Structure 1
Amino acid sequence: MTVAGIVLAAGDGSRLGGRAKALLPHRGRPLLHTVADALREGGCDEVVVVVGAYGDEVAAECDPNITVARNPLWAEGMSTSLRAGVGASAGHSTVALTVVDFPGITAELVRTVLSAHEPGTVTLPVFGDRPGHPVVFDRADAVAAAAQATGDEGARSFLARNCDRVRRLDCSSLAEAADIDTPEDLRRLDLDFPENG
């Protein structure tokens, strides 16, 4: 099994006042690094970062070991980023999908979800009653999820249609599942918030 970790980082951060979530300061460096390092150290053979609204700025933060997938259709929703990421991860048997605004992600979480994954299923980490990331797919399922996705839904439609194959894995003890959408989320998660740009 070879694993591609896909990070969806193409949005414009409109609810944050128009800021790239990937570039938010976290532990002294951009949040993108927290997420990419967790995927790599957790067992992903390749990390693919999908960029869009702030493509050049986010790409500039990617080290040479990261594959940058540009999504010119990012404004049409997360579905287009999912397709871009899956397309750029060809050659791997397994895909671990996450969003960039997940500061709680750790290598231990990624390793746990990958270790629990069984072929023919989709492994979905849950935190209490809340589904989270990274979601692990066999490649064929990742391709199908990307093909079926519309608008801003990502893989949600595929998961709903294939609920009998989705294995929910309780990861409540491994991470804080909260993501970042608003300035209040940043304050609640004790993240730095650049008030002036």
Structure 2
Amino acid sequence: MGKPKQLLPMGDKPMIWQVAATACGADLLEVVVITGAAGEAVGQALAGLPLRIVHNDNWQTGQASGIRLAVTALDARAKAVLFLLADQPLVDVALLNRLVQKYRRAGASLVVPRWQNQRGNPVLFDLTRWRSELLQLTGDQGARGILAANPQCIEFVDLPSPEVFGDVDTPEEYCQMQKLWQRLRGNSQ
């Protein structure tokens, strides 16, 4: 993108604010935001939201460093962790709550949204089962390897459409996301 995509406007706020505010509205014990390259600006963009910000000094080593930091930063009472991406502003409170409810009801150790057999984010990991594996991750692949190696542990939450999986990696995707945001979320804000 050439600039911090999480700070791009989505509606009347930065994209990261929209994602974090959604998380803050869900049935979660706490919301922890892991910052990286634009940490100070992201922190300023999130001012006033009921969340905790933890800066990842090793952000340039890849996604795994943020995952490890998030797991170690969680409240000791946390039984699971739900990873959201800063560039998926169409994820809504209802989806987050459905993932949490599936975890609680099914006793699943992995809960993943899907649309027509396509897996996506956000993903919930039971910490009793996956803490050690999450803390051993390295590089920029995130936790995909855990999911790929353990399909029998996954409980799915089926989605009615694929829009929620949309993310922003290019200026074209950002333009498309702004249009989708306005159509799907903008009018309800």
Question: Normalising to structure 1: TM-score of the pair?
Answer: 0.81
Q: Deviations over 1:143-166 (max 9, x none)?
A: 234223221011111112222101
Question: SS at the partner of 1:126?
Answer: strand
> In the alignment, which residue of structure 2 is the partner of 1:60?
44
Question: SS at the partner of 1:125?
Answer: strand
By percentage of residues, which structure has more helix? 2
Question: Normalising to structure 2: TM-score of the pair?
Answer: 0.85
Query: Does the aligned pair in 2 maintain the 1:37–1:107 contact within 8 Å?
Result: no
> In the alignment, which residue of structure 1 is the partner of 2:74?
89
- Worse-matched range after superposition: 84-93 or 137-146: 137-146
Change (3 A) 1:175 1:73: same
Matches within 5 A, 1:144-163: 144-163=132-151
> In the alignment, which residue of structure 1 is the partner of 2:101?
115
> In the alignment, which residue of structure 2 is the partner of 1:168?
156
By percentage of residues, which structure has more strand? 1
Q: Any gaps of 5 or more consecutive residues in structure 2?
A: 180-189
Query: Does the aligned pair in 2 maintain the 1:148–1:157 contact within 8 Å?
Result: no
How far has the Cα of 1:173 moved from its partner? 4.1
Query: Does the aligned pair in 1 maintain the 2:102–2:155 contact within 8 Å?
Result: no
Query: Does the aligned pair in 2 maintain the 1:124–1:131 contact within 8 Å?
Result: yes
Query: Does the aligned pair in 1 maintain the 2:64–2:137 contact within 8 Å?
Result: yes
Matches within 5 A, 1:4-153: 16-17=1-2, 19-64=3-48, 65-91=50-76, 92-117=78-103, 118-153=106-141
How far has the Cα of 1:49 moved from its partner? 0.5
Q: Any gaps of 5 or more consecutive residues in structure 1?
A: 1-15, 192-197
- Worse-matched range after superposition: 136-145 or 163-172: 136-145
CA-based RMSD: 1.8
How far has the Cα of 1:20 moved from its partner? 1.6
- Worse-matched range after superposition: 44-53 or 129-138: 129-138
Say how many residue pairs are matched.
175
